[in-house]
Amino acid sequence: MSTGVLRRLVAVAPTLLVVGTIAFLITHTLPGDPAAVMLGSEATPAQVASLRTELALDRPLGQRYLAWIGELARGDLGTSVHHDRPVSALLRERVVPTLQLAVAALLVAVAVGVPAGILASRRAGTVLDRTITLLATSATAVAGFFLAMLLILLFAVHLGWLPAGGSVPLRTDPVAHLKSMVLPALALGLPLAGIPARVLRGTLLDQIDADHIVVARAKGMPPRHVLLCHELRAALVPTTTVLGTSFADLLGGAVIVETVCNLPGLGQLLAISIGQRDLLVIQGVILAAAALHVLVTLTVDLLVSGLDPRVDHVRF
């Protein structure tokens, strides 16, 4: 393991600390009383006061911060007022469907975006290229939850090919489980596919007259081999990077698409908690999403430095 990789691994800790601090600042320092927010307008002053004691809101800010960081480090995110259960347990139950959906959507984005980008770069300047570019631009403007509704209308209501929502556990019926994932994964993945398509088209066109490509072509290498062995290899790094950076949006989108497709993930938990003004659960959900994003960014950075050894010296 090189020092660059090691340094990158160590850098995760301060980022997570900053993320935790921001969550603390949102809950504890913004104007308004968090206890009053959680209990709603019908709460009596006595109820608010008792919740304030329970949440330790009457202690000084510095003390609260240190206690909060300590609890966070142990994985304790407080107890939900409405579910009357630890937030971390609620998150652990819900995180798997969300992650599944995010990964499935990423696969859809790669499966659609990569061939589209290659095709556009091979036929640059033609009608096909312009159509793909236009579609890629339009795709990023579509809200995943709206696309999910349209897909449900078409494939579930009119054609009846796929279930409109809900989820079957993988253990009881794997086929039904996969079927229930198709529509949400498409709804979330198709808008994302525009990003790798645009990046891939750009990087492939940029190196169309690079020396090593010209040499490869001149020595009679078949175009297919040039593409696979040389051009795609170089385009792999920017494409991986851009997919990694869009993972945060992917998680945010997954949470919303879930509520449309009725998947039992973090999104459903969040939607319920918004209605109940359950601040600690909302805080837990955004912390979980941010932590996942930090870990994915780390993975992407390590992947990229594996794909392109030069990066080790430049980025870290």
Partner 1 sequence: MSASSPMVEFLLRPRSRSRWDASWAPSTTTRVVLRDVLRSPATRLGVLLLLLLALAATFAPVISSHDPVHLEPARRLLPPSRTHWLGTDDLGRDVFARLVHGARISLLVGLVVSAGSLLIGTIVGLAASSHRGADAVVMRAVDGLMAFPGVLLGIALVIRLGANIVSVLVALTLVYTPLVARLVRTTTLAAQAQPHVEAARALGAGPVRVLTRHVLPTAMSPLLAQWSFIAGLAVLSEASLSFLGASVGADAMTWGSLLRDGQRLLTTAWWIAVPAGLALTTTVLACTLVGDGIRDALDPRGTARLRRHAARSHGRLRSAR
- The footprint of partner 1 (CB under 8 A) covers 14-15, 18-19, 21-23, 26-27, 30-32, 34, 37, 122-126, 129, 134, 137-138, 140-143, 145-146, 149-150, 152-153, 157, 205, 208-209, 248-249, 251-253, 255-256, 259-260, 270-271, 274-275, 277, 279, 282-283, 285-286, 289-290, 293-294, 297
- Minimum distance from CB of 170 to partner 1 (Å)? 26
79 strand-pairing partners: 86
What Cα–Cα distance (Å) separates residue 36 from each residue in 48, 56, 93, 216, 286?
A: 6, 14, 28, 69, 21
How far apart are CB 286 and partner 1 at their closest, in Å?
Answer: 5
Show Cβ contacts of residue 53 under 8 Å, excluding neighbours closer than 6 positions. none
- Would you say 311 and 304 are in contact if contact means Cβ atoms under 8 Å apart? yes
Torsion sign (Cα): 142, 144, 149, 150: positive
Least spacing, CB of residue 168 vs partner 1, in Å: 21
Report whether 244 contacts 297 (CB < 8 A): yes
Q: How far apart are CA 81 and CA 41, in angstroms?
A: 15
Decide if 164 contacts 152 (C-beta within 8 A).
Answer: yes
Of 300 and 307, which CB lies nearer to partner 1 in the complex structure?
Answer: 300
Shortest spacing between CB 37 and partner 1, in angstroms = 6
Q: How far is the CB of 282 from partner 1 (least distance, A)?
A: 5
Q: Which is nearer to partner 1, 138 or 299 (CB)?
A: 138
Position 122, amino acid = R
Least Å from the CB of residue 118 to partner 1: 13
Residue with Cβ nearer partner 1 (164 or 307): 164
Nearer of residues 240 and 283 to partner 1, judged by Cβ: 283
* DSSP per-residue letters across 246-264: THHHHHHHHHHHHHHHT-S
Our CB check for partner 1 shows the closer of 135 and 303 to be: 135
Quote the CA–CA distance of 191 and 136 in Å, as a whole number: 8
Pick 143 or 228: Cβ nearer partner 1: 143
